[in-house]
Amino acid sequence: MKLPRIWLQHEITIEPYEGSGAYGDVYGVPVEVRGFLEQTTRLVRDAGGDEVVSSSTFYCRHGAVNAPTKSRVALPDGTKTTVIVTHDGTAGRLPLPEHLEVILQ
């Protein structure tokens, strides 16, 4: 089951992190993604297991975007942030919407 259309209230722009090059970090083509932005501060663990503070979380449909750690993100209000970690919200055989959870710095 897909994330319901009613949840697609916000649009963010993600520049996928592709690695480091000779002149610094390399990012892919910016992609606009619709989903739900929850702006709540909370303590989360990053990909390395360290505790970091997250200012917001973005929920979107599976396959809507590739958002690896360190990807750059522009929020609807113009704020720039980066991806801390993503979580794959699969439901298995349960009748719940599957989604991608993008936790932002």
With cut-offs at 50, 70 and 90, classify the pLDDT of residue 42. Answer: very high
Cα distance from N-terminal residue to C-terminal residue, the chain = 28
CB-based contact 81:87 (threshold 8 Å): no
CB-based contact 61:99 (threshold 8 Å): yes
pTM metric for this prediction = 0.89
**How confident is the model over 11-37, as a mean pLDDT?**
94
**Does residue 84 surpass a pLDDT of 90?**
yes
Is residue 24 classed as helix, strand or coil in its secondary structure? Answer: strand
Count: domains in the chain: 1
**Does residue 16 surpass a pLDDT of 80?**
yes
Which residue segment(s) compose the domain that 40 sits in? 5-50+69-104
Length of the chain (residues): 105
59: in domain:
no
29: in domain:
yes
User: Measured at the alpha carbon of residue 98, what is the angle toward residues 93 and 104, in degrees to the nearest 5?
Assistant: 145
64: in domain:
no
